[in-house]
Amino acid sequence: MAAADPTPDVASPSDRSGGSLLVLLAPMPASQTELLLARLAASFSPGSLIVATPEPPAAELYPDLHLLAIPAAKPAMTLTAADFANAHQLAEKHHAQAILMLGPEAGSLSPAALQSLSNAVLATPADLALPYYHLPPNAGLVNSAILYPLTRALFAAHMRYPLAIDLGLSLRMAERLAGAAQRFSMSNPGEALVWPVDEAAVAGYSIAEFDVGPRVLPQPIDPDINAVLAQVTGSLFADIDLKAAFWQRSRRSALARNVARPSLSVDGVADIASMIETFHLGYTNLREIWSLVMPPNSLLGLKRLSVADAATFRMPEGLWARIVYDFVLAYRLRTINRGHLLGALIPLYLAWVAGHINIAASGTDPEQHVEAVAAAFEAEKPYLVSRWRWPDRFNP
């Protein structure tokens, strides 16, 4: 998304005064950029926006916008540490009061959605503004199964999409995220992930969530679920380890999300046979590895699941919460090679997905199931805390 220090302004600095909101656009086709610029120009007062984008159109086409040309960053499926570092740098350079970061396909967001995310960090005391997307039931399932439940349980934040690709930032939030990004500057600055909700929770900053309606999600650069799951979960597990002193303290969960939750229908019935077969193969071939990660009770639960009928196949919510917590702990302890560890999570994740699809196909609102999973993670948090403090207690 946002890249390094920008090239000279498209609009002459002498012709423009600094805008109050810095908007950073991810690299996207020219048609999408033009649609988004038109919506921004129509939604905000003239001169109030600084818009940074790779290859902006001619300045005279959008006289109400202060356009900056920035180098195109390497395509990524989400915001990276480099994006946050560069956003803060640009905001300081151009004296912006707040930041709006928009990912690929952001032209699918309504003008009202753009205003909500912006106004939250401009006109209200929110430090971090996140969107609540209306997505198809079978979209974003890594988020539904792992990212959202973990963030909610450990950081007491009910933000449905904690790794959203569109968000609003106050200046102090941008500064904190830039500081977090510096931790990755020497290792893997281009692809390392920063977790805004976790950072805001630890800092005691305010977080707001806004119903933005439907959004088209960009397709992953690498559609391989193994690569996607390993990158995202590995990053989150590392962040949980880094912030253990925070989440181990007892804290009350945040209030339920105050957003509309439309009942979305399931279009067709997904084929879960291959997912269940992958789980069965994992149960046959990975039990030795799983036994190094999970205690006997969890392994017994997986044994029962391995003989379940496909029509009623479902990962129990409490079992899934304990499994994910076991993998978080194993990641911290380096029980096995981390790459192998995250690979061993794949069949278990696919088992959860198969069960989720079965539940949705039965007529149950998929969002109700996701909320039940998140509640189970909250209920099982003492399990993680105990294993974190006394990991040998559960060794076979």
pLDDT per position as a tens digit, 288-335:
999 999 999 999 999 999 999 999 999 999 999 999 999 999 999 999
**pLDDT in the model for residue 219:** 75
Least confident of 34-48, 70-84, 133-147: 70-84
**pLDDT in the model for residue 4:** 39
Question: What is the pLDDT averaged over residues 44-50?
Answer: 89
**DSSP 3-state assignment of 72?**
coil
Average pLDDT, the chain: 86
Instruction: Assess whether pLDDT exceeds 70 at residue 14.
Output: no
What confidence category does residue 260 fall into, taking pLDDT thresholds of 50, 70 and 90? very low
What is d(CA 180, CA 194) in angstroms, rounded to the nearest whole number? 7
**pLDDT in the model for residue 261:** 53
What is d(CA 85, CA 174) in angstroms, rounded to the nearest whole number? 8
What digits encode the pLDDT tens for the residues 95-126?
Answer: 999 999 999 889 889 999 999 999 999 887 89
Instruction: Assess whether pLDDT exceeds 70 at residue 191.
Output: no
Q: What percentage of the chain carries pLDDT values higher than 70?
A: 86
**pLDDT in the model for residue 190:** 47
Q: Which residue has the higher pLDDT, 246 or 266?
A: 246
Q: What is the DSSP string of 122-139?
A: HTSS-SEEEEEEE--TTS
Q: Residue ranges of the domains in the chain?
A: 13-222, 273-394
One of 3.90.550, 3.30.450, 1.10.1760, 1.10.1060 is the CATH number of 13-222, namely 3.90.550
Which residue, chain included where needed, has tokens 């740098």? 89
What digits encode the pLDDT tens for the residues 49-64?
Answer: 999 998 888 888 999 8
What is d(CA 26, CA 104) in angstroms, rounded to the nearest whole number? 6
**pTM score, whole prediction:** 0.89
At a CB cut-off of 8 Å and minimum separation 6, what does 39 contact?
107, 109, 111, 114
Q: What is the DSSP string of 291-319?
A: HHHS-HHHHHHHHHHHTS-GGG----HHH
**pLDDT in the model for residue 393:** 61
Question: What is the pLDDT averaged over residues 370-381?
Answer: 96
